[in-house]
Amino acid sequence: MNYKTKEKIYEKILLASAFISVITILLIGGFVFKEGAPLIAKVGLVKFLFGTQWSPTSGEYGIFPMILGTFAVTLGALVMGVPLGVSTAIFLAEFAPPRVNRIVRPAVELLAGIPSVVYGLFGMVIVNDVIMYVERTYLAGILRPEYQRGYSVLSASIILAIMILPTVINISEDAIRSVPREYKEASLALGATEWQTIYKVLIPAASSGIIAAVVLGMGRAIGETMAVIMVAGNTVAVPDSIFAPVRTLTGNIAIEMGYASGDHVRALFATGIVLFVMIMLLNSVATFIAKKGVSRS
Amino acid sequence: MSVKTTQKMAKAALWTAGFCTVAVLSLIIGYVMLEGIPHVNWQFLTMKPKKMGSEGGIFPIIVSTIYFTALTLAIATPIGVGAAIYLTEYTREGKITKIIRFGTEALAGIPSIVFGLFGFAFFVIALEPITRGWSLLSGALTGATMILPTLIRTSEEAIKTVPVSYREGSLALGATKWQTICRVVLPSALPGIVTGVILSIGRVVGETAALMLTLGGSMRMPGSIFDSARTMSMHLYLVALEVGTKPALDKAFATATVLILTIFIINTTANWLMKNFIS
C-alpha cells in the first residue's frame, strides 16, 4: 500500500472520529424520543405537560409539578447565584490584586470540580438542618408539618446557587476582561470613578457575555440531578412556598428509573424529552446572545 | 450620597463578594473533611464494604472507580484527539466544521441524566449482547460520550498552539502529512492534550446521575469490564440516601473526603502541567 492510500485512510478515520459527537447527539435525541414519544402520544401532549397527577400505578402521567419544581429551584438558584457570581467576576477582573487572585481562582476551579453528590451531602446534612431549625423555631405556627423537615425549594436553590457559581464567574469574567481597555481608560480620563466606569461602561459593554453566563448557569441548574435529589424532598406536588418539598424533572427520572417498567419507563423517557428540548433551546439562546455580542463589538 | 462614598461602598461590596465565594468553598470542604477525616484510615481504604456500605471500607469501589476511569479515557481519548486533529489539520472553517462544532457544543450542554437515559436505552438494552447490560463497559461508553466535548476542545487548543513553522519544516523535509502529525504536531501538543485528559478524569470521577442508569451499582470487586460496579460518587449517594443511618453517613463523609482529595490532586496536577509545559 503506498503512502497516498494510507494518508487517505488516516484522514477518513479522523473524519469519522470528528463526526462521532454529531452522531452521538443524534443518537441521544433519537433514543430518548423513540422511547418517550409513544407515551406522550398515548397520554396527549397537553395532559402530559400540564397534568398535575403523577401516579404510575394508576397510569396517570402529568409532569406539571416537576416542570414547576424545576423552574422554582432554578429561579431560586439564579436569584442567589447570579448577583454573587457576577460581583465575584467583577472583583476578579477589576479589583483583586494578583495575590488574592491566586487564592480565588483555584477556589473557583475546585468549586467546579467538586462532585455534585458532595454538594448534595453537604446540603442534606447542614443546609437542611439550618432550614429545618428556622422552620420549626420561627415558622412552626404558619407552615404545615410536612413543610418543616428542611427538604425544600429553598435548600435546593441554595445548593444550586453554589453549583452554578463557577459557570457564572468564569464566563462573566471573560466577558468583562474582553472589553477593550480604551473604553475603561476613556471613562476614567473623563473623571469617572472606578465604580461609575464599571457600572456605566464595563457592564453594559460586557452585557451579552454576562447574559450568556446566566443562561448557561441556568442550564446547569436545570440539568443538575444528584445534589437536588438529596436536598429537595422529592414530593410530587406543585410547590406553593419556598419551604415546600419539591421534585424536579431530573429527579423524577433518577429516582424512579431504578424500579420502573413498561409505560412508566416510557413516561420517564418522555420526561427526558422535555429536559432535552429545554436544554437545547436554552443553549441556542446562549449561543445566539454570545454571537450577537461578538459581532457588535 | 457623594460619588466617592458610592465608590467606596461598591468596592467594599465587590471585595465581600469575592470573599463570600471563597468562604462558601472553604465551608463546604472544611465541613465535609472535618466530618470525614476521622473515618478515613487504612482499614477504610483497604477493606470491603459491609452492610450496604455502612460498615467496612471502600476498597472494591476505589478499584472500580479506577477501572471505570481508565476504560472511559481509553475509549474517549483516541476519538477526542482524532476529532481535534481533523478539525485543526484537515479542514478549514466551513460547513463540515460548523456541523461538528454544533454537535460538540450541544453534547456539552446535555444534562447527565439524559446521557443516562440514552446509555440505558442504547448501551444497556440495545447493545446488551456486547455490553452484558449494566456493566463497566456500558458505563464507560456513556461516560466517554460525556467527556468528548472537553477532550475535543482542549486538544484542539493544544494543537493550535503548535507553531506553523514546525509543520512547514517537517513537510519541507519530505515527511507526509500523517508523519508530520504523529512525529511533530502531537508531541509538541502533548502537555496540552494531557491536561485535557486530566481535567476529564475529574468529570468522570464526579459523575453520578448517568452511571446510576448504566453501571449497575454492585459493591463487589469487578472481575472484568462486563461486571456491574459502582464508583465512589455513586457509593456516596447510595450510602447516604438509601441507607442513611448515622454510621452510613460517617462512611459517606469519609468517601466524600477521598473524592475531594482526588479532585484536588487532579486539579493541582493539571495546573502544574499548564504552568510548566504550556506557555
User: Residue A294 pLDDT > 60, yes or no?
Assistant: no
Q: Which CATH number fits domain B40-277: 3.65.10.10, 2.102.10.10, 3.40.50.300, 1.10.3720.10?
A: 1.10.3720.10
Q: What span, in angstroms and rounded, lies between the C-alpha atoms of B223 and B128? A: 18
In a domain, A230, yes or no: yes
Q: Mean pLDDT throughout A103-108? A: 86
State pLDDT tens for residues A205-221.
988 889 888 988 998 89
Closest by alpha carbon to A111, among A155, A71, A62, A160?
A: A160
In a domain, A178, yes or no: yes
In a domain, A44, yes or no: no
**Nearest-CB residue to B240 (from A7, A109, A124):** A124
DSSP H or E run through A195: helix A194-197
DSSP one-letter code for A233:
B
Could you tell me the residue ranges of all domains in chain B? 3-38, 40-277
Inter-chain residue contact B122 with A250, CB threshold 8 Å: no
Q: Which three cell numbers stand for residue A136?
A: 420549626
pLDDT band (50, 70, 90) for residue B279: low
For residue A23, the chain B residues in CB contact (below 8 A) are 103
State pLDDT tens for residues B15-63.
998 898 899 888 998 998 998 888 888 877 777 877 776 777 788 888 8
pLDDT band (50, 70, 90) for residue A293: low
Inter-chain residue contact B10 with A198, CB threshold 8 Å: yes
In a domain, A211, yes or no: yes
CATH (domain of A156): 1.10.3720.10
SS3 A60: strand
Residue of A nearest to B215 (CA): A258
State pLDDT tens for residues A5-44.
888 888 888 888 888 888 999 999 999 999 888 988 888 8
Inter-chain residue contact A107 with B21, CB threshold 8 Å: yes
Q: What span, in angstroms and rounded, lies between the C-alpha atoms of B275 and A47? A: 56
- What percent of chain B clears pLDDT 70, i.e. is strictly above it? 99
For residue A266, the chain B residues in CB contact (below 8 A) are none
Q: To probe the interface with A, which of B21, B85, B195 has the most A CB atoms within 10 Å?
A: B21
Q: Mean pLDDT throughout A189-202? A: 88
Residue of A nearest to B15 (CA): A91
- B99 interfacial to chain A (CB closer than 8 Å): yes
**Nearest-CB residue to B117 (from A103, A230, A253):** A253
Closest by alpha carbon to A274, among A27, A24, A66, A26?
A: A66
**Domain count across chain A:** 1
Q: Mean pLDDT throughout B116-124? A: 91
Closest by alpha carbon to A218, among A98, A109, A77, A97?
A: A77
Q: What span, in angstroms and rounded, lies between the C-alpha atoms of B46 and B52? A: 16
**Tell me, what's the ipTM?**
0.87
Q: Could you count the other beta carbons within 10 Å of the beta carbon of residue B179?
A: 15
Inter-chain residue contact B32 with A22, CB threshold 8 Å: no
Inter-chain residue contact A27 with B31, CB threshold 8 Å: no
* Confidence (pTM): 0.88
pLDDT of residue B246: 79
Closest by alpha carbon to A238, among A76, A73, A55, A66?
A: A66
pLDDT band (50, 70, 90) for residue B278: low
User: Residue B192 pLDDT > 70, yes or no?
Assistant: yes
**Nearest-CB residue to A225 (from B111, B178, B267):** B111
Q: What span, in angstroms and rounded, lies between the C-alpha atoms of A176 and A196? A: 15
A296 vs A24 pLDDT, higher one? A24
Beta bridge partners of B55: B50
Inter-chain residue contact B208 with A90, CB threshold 8 Å: no
**Domain span holding position A152:** 67-259+284-296
User: Residue A295 pLDDT > 60, yes or no?
Assistant: no
In a domain, A129, yes or no: yes
For residue A115, the chain B residues in CB contact (below 8 A) are 205-208, 233, 236, 259, 263
Using alpha carbons, list the distances in angstroms from residue B143 to A65, A123, A143, A168, B84: 30, 26, 43, 25, 19
Q: Mean pLDDT throughout A197-209? A: 89
For residue B39, the chain A residues in CB contact (below 8 A) are none
Q: To probe the interface with B, which of A25, A34, A39, A200 has the most B CB atoms within 10 Å?
A: A25
Q: Average per-residue pLDDT in chain B? A: 86
Q: Average per-residue pLDDT in chain A? A: 87
State pLDDT tens for residues B219-240.
887 888 788 888 989 999 988 8
Q: Which three cell numbers stand for residue B272?
A: 502544574
**Minimal CA separation from A156 to chain B, in Å:** 15
DSSP one-letter code for B39:
G
pLDDT of residue B125: 86
Q: Mean pLDDT throughout A179-195? A: 89
State pLDDT tens for residues A41-96.
888 888 888 888 888 888 788 889 999 999 999 999 999 999 999 999 999 988 88
pLDDT of residue A297: 45
State pLDDT tens for residues B136-156.
899 999 999 999 998 998 898
In this complex, how many residue pairs, one in chain A and one in chain B, have their CB atoms less than 8 Å apart?
260
Q: What span, in angstroms and rounded, lies between the C-alpha atoms of B135 and B228? A: 4
Residue of B nearest to A230 (CA): B241
State pLDDT tens for residues A144-185.
777 777 788 899 999 999 999 999 999 999 899 989 888 989
Q: Mean pLDDT throughout B186-190? A: 87
